[in-house]
C-alpha cells in the first residue's frame, strides 16, 4: 500500500524540519550567550523572525500540489500552505509589535521567542496532520508552549493565574480530544483522516458512541477556539497574560485551530456531517451572542477583545456549519480579515503606553482623537470594520458568511446572526465614542516605534480599501478552498 516515495516524501515536511533545526540552534544559543541580558533581546527576536521567514520561504518555494507522506501521517495542499503562510506572517508581525512592550514590561527572556517558535512548530504540525495522532502531537506541542507563555510575567499574580487556568482547562480539553479519538478508533479501527473519509464511516451504522466521540472532538477544538460554551477561560487569560502574548493568542492559534477544524469536519467526518452540522451551527450562534453580550459592559480592552474574538469565531463556525464549498470560502475569508484587523487593533493596544505603564482601560483612550489623531483614525477604521459597517473589509467578510447562510436556505439563522452583529456594533462604537467624544489629556503623545506605526497604517489601509481588490482575494479563496473537494 505504501510506496517508497510515499515514505520518503520529505519535501512536504521541509518547513517543519527547518523550523525544528532552527530551534535546536536557538536553545544552546540562548543558554550560552546570556539569554536574559537586556542587550541581547533584540538579537533573539531578529533571530526568531529570520527563522520564521526562512520557514515561510521554504513553504512557499515548495510544491503546492496535494500530496501525502510519512505513511499518510502528513499531508499538504494549497489550503494548508495558505493557512501556514498566514500563521507565519501573523507570528512575524506579532513578534515585531511586541518588541516595545517587552522592553517596557521587562520581559527579557530568550525563552519568550523560543516558546513562540515552538508553538508555531506545533501549529504547523497540526495543520499538516492527516491523522488524529499527528494532530494530537502538534496540538500538545503548541498548547504546552502557550500555557507557559500565558504565565510569562513571573511576578504578576494575574499572569500566573492566567497560565494555570489555561493549563488546567486546556489539559481537560486535550483529555476530551483523546477520549473522542479513542472512541472513534474503537468504532472504525483507524485514526487516519483519509481512511475515515473513504471507507470506515458507514453512514448506516450511526451509534450513540459515534455521536459521542464526534461531540467530544468538536468540543475540544471549540475549547481551543474559545467557542461558547467553552469560552470561560478566554477573558481571564486574555486579561492576565502579557499583552503581547494576548495579541499572539488572539490571532495565531486561532488560525491553526480553524485549519484543523476544517480538516476534521470537511475531510475526516464529512460522511457523517449530519451529526455535526447542527452542532456547529448552534455553537456558532451561541458564541455570536455570548461574545456580543459579554463585551457590552467590559471596561478593559483586552477582556473586550476576548469577547469580540468569541463572537468573530462564532461567525466562522456559522459559515463552517453549512458544510458547503461556499461556507468554506466564507470562513477562510473571514479568518483572513479577522487576523489582519486583529493585528491592527493589537498594534494599537501595544502602542498605548504612558510613563512606562500600559493603558488597558478603555476610559484611558479618552480624547485620543485630539492628542493622537492618526491612532484614533486607524483604530476607528478597524473597529468599524469589525462591527461590519460597509464598505470596510469586515462588512464583506460578514456579507459573504450571510450570503452562504442565506443561499443554503437558513434564513432564520441569518436573521439571528445579524441581530448578534448589531449588538456587537454597540461596544465597538463605544470605544470610538471614548476616543472622539470624551475629553481627555491633550498633552498625551504616543511614542511608539516607526515599524508599529507602519503596521497599523498598512492594516487599516488594507481594511479600508479591501473593496477595491476584494474580487481577486475572493477568487483566491475559491481557488485554495477547492483543495478540499466536497
Partner 1 sequence: MSSWPILSLMIFIPLFGAFFISLVDGEEKTVFKNTKMVALWTSLVVFILSLFLWLNFPQSTGFHFLEEVKLFSAIGISYRLGLDGISLLFVVLSAFLVPVCILASWKSIKVRVKEYMILFLLLETLMIGTFCALDLLLFYIFFEALLIPMFLIIGIWGGPRRIYAAFKFFLYTLAGSVLFLIAIILMGYTSGTFDIRELLVYQFDYQLQLLLWPALFASFAVKTPMWPFHTWLPDAHVEAPTAGSVILAGVLLKVGGYGFIRFSIPMLPEASDYYAPLVFTLGVIAIIYASLVALMQKDMKKLIAYSSVAHMGYVTIGLFTFKQEGIDGAIIQMLSHGLVSAALFLCIGVLYDRMHTRMISDYGGIVSNMPKFALIFMVFTLASVGLPGTSGFVGEVLVLIAAYKVNGYLAFTTGIGMILGAAYMLWLYKRVVFGKLININLKNITDLDKREYVIFIPIIVGVFWLGIYPESFVIEFRDSVTNLVNHLNTRLAN
Minimum gap (Å) between residue 375 Cβ and partner 1: 15
94 binds partner 1 (CB under 8 A): no
Kind and range of the H or E run holding 68: strand 67-69
437 binds partner 1 (CB under 8 A): yes
296 binds partner 1 (CB under 8 A): no
Between the alpha carbon of residue 361 and those of residues 150, 346, 434, the distances in Å are 20, 14, 11
Cell numbers describing residue 221: 477544538
Only segment of 208-216, 263-271, 288-296, 389-397 that touches partner 1 (CB under 8 A): 389-397
209 binds partner 1 (CB under 8 A): no
In DSSP notation, 332-368 reads HHHHHHHHHHHHHHHHHHHH-EETTEE--BGGGGTTH
- Would you say 440 and 398 are in contact if contact means Cβ atoms under 8 Å apart? no
Of the candidates 289, 241, 313, 268, which has an alpha carbon nearest to the alpha carbon of residue 417? 289
425 binds partner 1 (CB under 8 A): yes
Minimum gap (Å) between residue 319 Cβ and partner 1: 14
48 vs 481, which CB is nearer to partner 1? 481
**Which residues, at least 6 apart from 235, have a Cβ–Cβ distance to it below 8 Å?**
294, 298, 303, 306, 307
- Rounded CA separation 7/302 (Å): 46
38 vs 437, which CB is nearer to partner 1? 437
277 vs 389, which CB is nearer to partner 1? 389
Minimum gap (Å) between residue 472 Cβ and partner 1: 8
Residues numbered 58 to 77 that lie near partner 1 (CB under 8 A) are: none
Angle, CA 109 vertex, CA 106 and CA 115 arms, to 5°: 130
Helix/strand/coil for 229: coil
Among 390, 441, 454, 461, binds partner 1 (CB under 8 A): 390
Residues numbered 449 to 478 that lie near partner 1 (CB under 8 A) are: 467-468, 470-471, 474-475, 478
24 vs 415, which CB is nearer to partner 1? 415
- Would you say 460 and 383 are in contact if contact means Cβ atoms under 8 Å apart? no
Only segment of 40-48, 82-90, 343-351, 406-414 that touches partner 1 (CB under 8 A): 406-414
414 binds partner 1 (CB under 8 A): yes
- Rounded CA separation 190/184 (Å): 8
**Which residues, at least 6 apart from 122, have a Cβ–Cβ distance to it below 8 Å?**
137, 138, 139, 140, 141, 142, 143, 145
27 vs 416, which CB is nearer to partner 1? 416
Of the candidates 235, 274, 130, which has an alpha carbon nearest to the alpha carbon of residue 138? 130
Number of residues lying near partner 1 (CB under 8 A): 34
Among 370, 449, 453, 482, binds partner 1 (CB under 8 A): 370
Minimum gap (Å) between residue 78 Cβ and partner 1: 17
Residues of this chain that bind partner 1 (CB under 8 A): 369-370, 384, 389-391, 395-396, 399-400, 402-403, 406-407, 411, 414-415, 418-419, 421-422, 425-426, 429, 433, 436-437, 467-468, 470-471, 474-475, 478
Amino acid at each position: 500500500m505504501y510506496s517508497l516515495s510515499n515514505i520518503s516524501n520529505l519535501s512536504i515536511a521541509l518547513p517543519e524540519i527547518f523550523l525544528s533545526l532552527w530551534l535546536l540552534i536557538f536553545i544552546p544559543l540562548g543558554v550560552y550567550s546570556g539569554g536574559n541580558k537586556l542587550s541581547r533581546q533584540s538579537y533573539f527576536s531578529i533571530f526568531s523572525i529570520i527563522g520564521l521567514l526562512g520557514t515561510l520561504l521554504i513553504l512557499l518555494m515548495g510544491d503546492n500540489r496535494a500530496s501525502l507522506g510519512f505513511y499518510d501521517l502528513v499531508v499538504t495542499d494549497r489550503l494548508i500552505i495558505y493557512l501556514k503562510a498566514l500563521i507565519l506572517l501573523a507570528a512575524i508581525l506579532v513578534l515585531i509589535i511586541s518588541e516595545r512592550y517587552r522592553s517596557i514590561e521587562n520581559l527579557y527572556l530568550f525563552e519568550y521567542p523560543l516558546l513562540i517558535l515552538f508553538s508555531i512548530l506545533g501549529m504547523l504540525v497540526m495543520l499538516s496532520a492527516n491523522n488524529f495522532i499527528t494532530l494530537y502531537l502538534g496540538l500538545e506541542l503548541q498548547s504546552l508552549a502557550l500555557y507557559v507563555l500565558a504565565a510569562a510575567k513571573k511576578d504578576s499574580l494575574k499572569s500566573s493565574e492566567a497560565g494555570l487556568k489555561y493549563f488546567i482547562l486546556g489539559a481537560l480539553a486535550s483529555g476530551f480530544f483523546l477520549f473522542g479519538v479513542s472512541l472513534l478508533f474503537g468504532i472504525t479501527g483507524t485514526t487516519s483522516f483519509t481512511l475515515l473519509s473513504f471507507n470506515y464511516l458507514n453512514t448506516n451504522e450511526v451509534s450513540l458512541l459515534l455521536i459521542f466521540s464526534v461531540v467530544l472532538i468538536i468540543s475540544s477544538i471549540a475549547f481551543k477556539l474559545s467557542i461558547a460554551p467553552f469560552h470561560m477561560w478566554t477573558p481571564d487569560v486574555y486579561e492576565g497574560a502579557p499583552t503581547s502574548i494576548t495579541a499572539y493568542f488572539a490571532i495565531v492559534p486561532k488560525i491553526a485551530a480553524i485549519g484543523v477544524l476544517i480538516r476534521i469536519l470537511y475531510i475526516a467526518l464529512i460522511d457523517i456531517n449530519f451529526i455535526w452540522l447542527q452542532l456547529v451551527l448552534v455553537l456558532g450562534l451561541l458564541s455570536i451572542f455570548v461574545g456580543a453580550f459579554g463585551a457590552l459592559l467590559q471596561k478593559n480592552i483586552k477582556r473586550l477583545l476576548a469577547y469580540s474574538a468569541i463572537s468573530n469565531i462564532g461567525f466562522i463556525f456559522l459559515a463552517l456549519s453549512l458544510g458547503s464549498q461556499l461556507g468554506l470560502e466564507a470562513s477562510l475569508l473571514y479568518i483572513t480579515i479577522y487576523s489582519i484587523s486583529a493585528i491592527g487593533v493589537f498594534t494599537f493596544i501595544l502602542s498605548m503606553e504612558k510613563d512606562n505603564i500600559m493603558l488597558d482601560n478603555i476610559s484611558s483612550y479618552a480624547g485620543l482623537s485630539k492628542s493622537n489623531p492618526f491612532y484614533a483614525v486607524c483604530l476607528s477604521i478597524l473597529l468599524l470594520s469589525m462591527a461590519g459597517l460597509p464598505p470596510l473589509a469586515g462588512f464583506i467578510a460578514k456579507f459573504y458568511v450571510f450570503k452562504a447562510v442565506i443561499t443554503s436556505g437558513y434564513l432564520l439563522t441569518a436573521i439571528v446572526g445579524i441581530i448578534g452583529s448589531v449588538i456587537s456594533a454597540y461596544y465597538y462604537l463605544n470605544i470610538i465614542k471614548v476616543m472622539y467624544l470624551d475629553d481627555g489629556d491633550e498633552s498625551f503623545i504616543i511614542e511608539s516605534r516607526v515599524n508599529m506605526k507602519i503596521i497599523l497604517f498598512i492594516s487599516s489601509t488594507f481594511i479600508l480599501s479591501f473593496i477595491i481588490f476584494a474580487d481577486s482575494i475572493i477568487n483566491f479563496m475559491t481557488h485554495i478552498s477547492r483543495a478540499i473537494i466536497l
